[in-house]
């Protein structure tokens, strides 16, 4: 689910799920897509006091929203983040806080309206 822009919505297949920044009001652009508005600026401010990092941290809020909507276990997301930032505990904690903010927002405010999910696999198939 890449981040959408109004001009690219024409490229999306009918029934696609669209997570977007709420102020863009993209949900009025097409009626055949599933829209999930998220107030990224409101969610990132309490998580990331440093303004210059907020643009990067917003992406992790998006990860949290997508994880919740796709049914990804937060423990799996945290495991991946801790591995990615193994030597940078502060960065891991900041990113994890942003993911949790997105996940919690989606849990409390978004109703699943699409058929998409990710299923955990114990082993990769060859």
Residue-level pLDDT, tens digit, the chain, 126 residues: 445 566 678 888 999 999 999 988 888 888 999 999 999 999 999 998 888 888 888 989 999 999 999 999 999 999 888 888 888 988 888 889 999 999 999 999 999 999 999 887 776 655
- What is the residue whose two structure tokens read 């029934």? 15
Q: What is the pLDDT of residue 1?
A: 42
Are 34 and 15 contacting, i.e. CB atoms less than 8 angstroms apart? yes
Q: What is the pLDDT of residue 3?
A: 54
Kind plus residue range of the DSSP H or E element containing 56: helix 54-70
Give pTM, 2 decimals.
0.86
Are 58 and 65 contacting, i.e. CB atoms less than 8 angstroms apart? no
């Amino acid at each position: 689910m890449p981040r959408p822009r109004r001009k690219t919505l024409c490229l999306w297949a009918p029934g696609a799920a669209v997570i977007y920044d709420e102020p863009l009001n993209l949900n009025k652009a097409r009626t055949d897509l599933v829209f999930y508005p998220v107030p990224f600026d409101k969610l990132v401010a309490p998580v990331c006091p440093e303004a210059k990092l907020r643009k990067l941290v917003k992406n992790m809020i998006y990860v949290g929203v997508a994880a919740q909507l796709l049914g990804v276990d937060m423990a799996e997301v945290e495991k991946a983040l801790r591995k990615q930032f193994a030597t940078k505990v502060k960065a891991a904690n900041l990113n994890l806080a942003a993911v949790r903010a997105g996940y919690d927002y989606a849990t409390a405010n978004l109703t699943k309206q699409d058929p998409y999910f990710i299923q955990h696999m114990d082993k990769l198939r060859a």
